[in-house]
Structure formats: C-alpha cells, structure tokens
Structure 1
Amino acid sequence: MDKVMTPRFPEPLIIGRAPRLRSAPGPLTTANRAGPDTELDGADLDGLVIRGASVRGDYHRYDGMPRQDAMAIRMLGESHVLLAVADGLGSREMSHFGAVEACRAALDEYPASLLDGFETRSDPVAYFTAVADSMIYQAKNENVEVAQMATTLTVAVIDAQGQQGSRLCQIMRVGDSTAMLLHRGVWVSCFVEDDNQPLASSATYALPDDAARVEVTTCVLSPGDLLLLCTDGLAKPMAGQAVREQLADWWGQGTPPSLAEFLWQFSFRVKSHDDDRTAICVWGV
C-alpha cells in the first residue's frame, strides 16, 4: 500500500505582530510536582460539546518553569457537569500545585445542595471554604508552605439535562479568572465587574486565604451559544478586538472543533502575551 502523504500541521496563528519567543515546549521543568506542558480534554454529550486546554506560556517554556494553570472537566452524577479553571499566582513557588489541588477539591467538595441553586450567599462561601481547607490539608501532607500554593479558581456547574435545549449555568470564582458568553457573535462577560476593571492589574484575590471573597453569577446557555471559562492568559489578549473577532469566528459558527483543531486554535500567539493559558469552552447544540 502506498504511503499517504499529508501536509504538516501549521504553526499556531499569529495575530498582530510576531512575538519575540518561539512557540516550542523548551526545556523540561525540574519543579517539584510540575504537570505536563500541555493538557487537553473534552466531551461530546447530549446537547453539549466541551473542549478544554491548558498550555504553558512561552515565557515559562523558555525559562523551564512549570505550567501554573490547571483545569478539570467532570460529571456530577448524571445530571450536571462541573468545570474548573485555576491560575496559580506567578510569585508563589508551589502555585502550580495549588492550582491542581484547587481543581481537584472543586469536584470533591461540591455539595449536592448547590445543584438546586444558591439559597444564600453563605452556600458558595461554605463551598469555597471547603475547597480551601482541602488545599491546606494537602499542603500539610506534602510539607508545602500554604502561602506558596496561592491560586485563583473559577467553577461552573451546568445542568446537562436542561429543558428545551437551554441550560442553567452556576458560576463562582475567587480571583481574576473569568467566564464569558459568546451569543450571536458577541462576547459578553458573565461577571459584570470585569467590564469595569483594568486587566493590567497584577493584584488578585486567591485561595486558600480569600474563600470568603467568592463572587457568584448565573447565565443561561442556549443552543448556538458558547460558555467560556478562562484564566487571564486568555482573558488579557481577548481585550484586543482582533483576538475577540478571531475566536468568535472560530468558535461561534458551525460545528464545534475537534480536540486537535481546538488545541491549534487555542495556541494562537500575540506579542507581549506569553503567560500560561487555560480555557474550557462549552457549546450548546
């Protein structure tokens, strides 16, 4: 049988001016409990398509530093999907470990009572406090200084059995990782505060210390809409119109991408934006 020749997969798309650093994994990191350079996950469910990726930024690749972002995509029983993204604080030595532990605890500690909605503000606070306590417990087990695990955390829980195609999404966060809805080609922030805050600020709340600072919102994911959870490694370049339009063009029309295509799209490059990047996309279909 003749060997089938296929073209090479193209390099990630450059939007605007070319970045200074190469887009390559670089040296292996020697950091304790470091994860892989890249993580890719997804699911095709009844009425929902999910794609998620977490990629080490070019700066961390160049310096051999660990990816400080993490993510999780899991079912909660048979009726709901839980999504989590976390961004370890760059100034903390074990924040990559903290981000992974925050995403793990977000699933393990989720209370069934929250599946019916938020009766009081204390419900999300109690949940994020349980996540923080779990992080502290793991830090002590691993002989890690708790302050060095600081990380943001954004969690979304989606009703996978929504009626007439529309699904309620409950979203909670501590820190500056965020959520957006792509509706009819337009990106809308799920947290209204994000439209009024400068993205250049490096100060942010973080777990485990700031569990009581949890912010809460809800949105409805309808057929044709896209819910995006992401760290600031994606949110910051999305402040530029060219990036927002390109992502809307890729993700707002037609069939959701395959896993391989999603990773290529997600790996686009923009000058001056070389941070770790994590996102989970959920399409209502």
Structure 2
Amino acid sequence: MDKVMTPRFQEPLIIGRTPRLQSAPGPLITSNRTGPDTEIDGADLDGLVIRGASVRGDYHRYDGVPRQDAMLIRKLGESHVLLAVADGLGSRDMSHFGASEACRAAFEDFPASLLDGYETRSDPVAYFTGIAESMTYMARNEGIAVAEMATTLTVAVIDIQARRGARLCHIMRVGDSTAMQLHRGVWTSCFPEDNNQTLASSATYALPDDAARVEVTTCVLIPGDTLLFCTDGLTKPMAGQAVREQLATWWEQGAPPSLPEFLWQLSFRVRTHDDDRTAICVWGL
C-alpha cells in the first residue's frame, strides 16, 4: 500500500517583526515538580464549545525555566463548567507549582453556595482564601517557602444550559490574568476597569497573600460571541491591533477550531512577547 504524503504542519504565525528567539522546546527540565512544555484541553458540550491551551514562552524555553502558567477545565456538577487560568510570578522560583495548585484547589474546593450567584462579597473572598490556604499547606508540606508559590488566578463558572439563548458567566480573579469578550470583531474586558487602562501593566496582586483582593464580575455569553480567559502572556501582545484583529478572525468567524488548530493559533509569535501564554476560549452555539 502506497504511503499518503501530506504537507508538514505550518510553523506558528509570526505577527509583525520576526522574534529573535527560536520557537522550540529545548532540553528537558530536570525537576519532578514541573509540568509539560505544552498543555491542551477542551470540551464539546450541548451547545457549548471549549478550547484551552497553555504554552511555555520562548524565553523560558531558551533559559530552561518551567512553564509557570497553568489551566484547568472541569464540569461542575450537572449544570456548570468551571475554568481556571493561573500565571505564576516570574520572579518566584516555585510559582509554577503555585499556579498548578491554585487551579486544582479552585475546582476541588469550590463552594456550592457560589453556584446560585454571589450573596455577599464575603463569599468570593472566603473561596479565594480557601484556595490560598491550600497553597500554603502544600508549600509547607513540600518544604517550599510560601512566597515562592505566588500566582495570579482567574476562575469562571458558566451555565451549561442556555436560557433564552444566553448563558450566565460568573468570573472571579486575583491579579492580572483576565477575561475578555469578543462581540462583532471587538474585544472588551469583562472587568470594566481594565478598559480604562493599558493591558500591558506589570503590577499585579497574587495568591496566597492577596486573597482578600478578589475582583468579581458577571457577563452573558450569547451565540456568536466568544469568551476568552487568559494570562498576561496573551493580553500584553493583544495591546497591538494586529494581534487583536488576527485573534478575532480566528475565534469569531466560522466553526470553533479543533484542539490542534487552537494550539497552533495560540502559538503565534510576536517580537518582544516571549512569556508563557495560556488561554481558554468558550463559544456558545
């Protein structure tokens, strides 16, 4: 039987000037606490499509540093889905461990009371405080300085069933990992204050110290729109119009991408933007 020859998969798209660093995983990292270079996940639910990917940045690959981002996609009971993205602080040696633990605790310690909305501000604060306590316990159990676990965290809980064609999405965060909505080709932050400042700000709060600084917002996902939950490895290049427009073209038009296609899209390259990059996109059909 003759072999079928197929073209090789294209290299990630370069937007703007060619980056200085090569985009390649490099040598394996010799540590039992590191995750893989790249992670993909997703789900096709009834009228809801989810795609997620987390990619180690070219600088971390070049420098032999672990991917400090983490993500998680889980079904929450029968009626909701929980999404989490975390960005370990680059200045902390074990922040990748903190990011992973924060995502795990966000799911496993999620309080059922939050599924009915936010009765008081103390509910999200108590939830994030519990996540911070899990991180602190893990650090002490593993012999890690708690400060070295510092990470941002964004958690979203989305209704699986549509109500009059729309799905409610509750979002909580500490730090500058964020959520955005794509509507008719225009990106808007789900946190209103973000629209009044640059997405490239380097100042951020982080868990476990800043659990009381949790921010809360709610948005509605309608058919034709896209929700994006991501770390600043994506929001910073999105400060450029060319990147925003390219992502809108990929993630708004036509059917949602397959898992391999989504990973390829998220792996686009922009000069000076070589940080870890994590994104979860949600489409309501």
Please indicate the TM-score interval, normalised by the length of the shorter structure.
over 0.9
Conservation of the 8 A alpha-carbon contact between 2:182 and 2:225: yes
2:259 is the counterpart of 1:233? no
Q: Does 1:20 align with 2:20?
A: yes
Q: CA deviation at 1:198?
A: 3.2
What is the CA distance between 1:201 and its match in structure 2?
A: 3.1
Q: Which residue of 1 aligns with 2:5?
A: 5
Q: Deviations over 1:204-241 (max 9, x none)?
A: 10000000000000000011111000000000001110
In structure 2, C-alpha distance between the alignment counterparts of 1:271 and 1:40, rounded to whole Å: 24
Q: Is the aligned partner of 1:133 residue 2:121?
A: no
Q: Structure 2 CA distance, aligned partners of 1:105 and 1:58?
A: 28
5 Å matches for 1:238-249?
238-249=238-249
Alignment-mate amino acid for residue 205 of structure 2 = Y
State whether structure 2 residue 143 is matched by structure 1 residue 147: no
Taking the aligned partners of 2:229 and 2:141, their CA distance within structure 1 comes to 30
- Structure 1 residue aligned with 2:262: 262
State the secondary structure of the residue aligned to 1:132.
helix
Using the alignment, how far apart are the partners of 1:58 and 1:73 within structure 2? 25
Please give the TM-score of this superposition, normalised by the length of structure 2. 0.98
Are 2:192 and 1:192 equivalent residues in the alignment? yes
- TM-score by length of structure 1 reads 0.98
Partner of 2:274: 274
For residues 100-249 of structure 1, the aligned pairs below 5 Å read 100-249=100-249
Tell me, yes or no, if the aligned pair for 2:181 and 2:190 is still in contact at 8 Å. Answer: yes
Give the ranges of 4+ consecutive aligned residues of structure 1 lying more than 6 Å apart after TM superposition: none
Give the match for residue 252 of structure 2.
Answer: 252
Amino acid at match of 2:6: T
Q: Is the 8 A contact 2:18 2:271 kept in 1?
A: yes
User: How far off is 1:246 after superposition?
Assistant: 0.3
- Which segment drifts farther, 116-125 or 29-38? 29-38
**How far apart are the structure 1 equivalents of 2:200 and 2:240?**
13
Count of residues in Structure 1 that have an aligned counterpart in Structure 2:
285
Instruction: Output the CA distance in 2 between the equivalents of 1:180 and 1:201.
Output: 16
1:85-137 per-position Cα deviation (integer Å, ceiling 9, x unaligned): 00000000100000000000000111111001011111100100010011111
Structure 1: where are the runs of 5+ without partners?
none
CA contact 1:47–1:165 (8 Å) conserved in 2: no
What do the CA deviations read for 1:170-210 (whole angstroms, capped 9, x no partner)? Answer: 00000000000011111111011112233443221000000
Q: Which amino acid in structure 2 is aligned with residue 68 of structure 1?
A: Q
Gaps of 5+ in 2: none
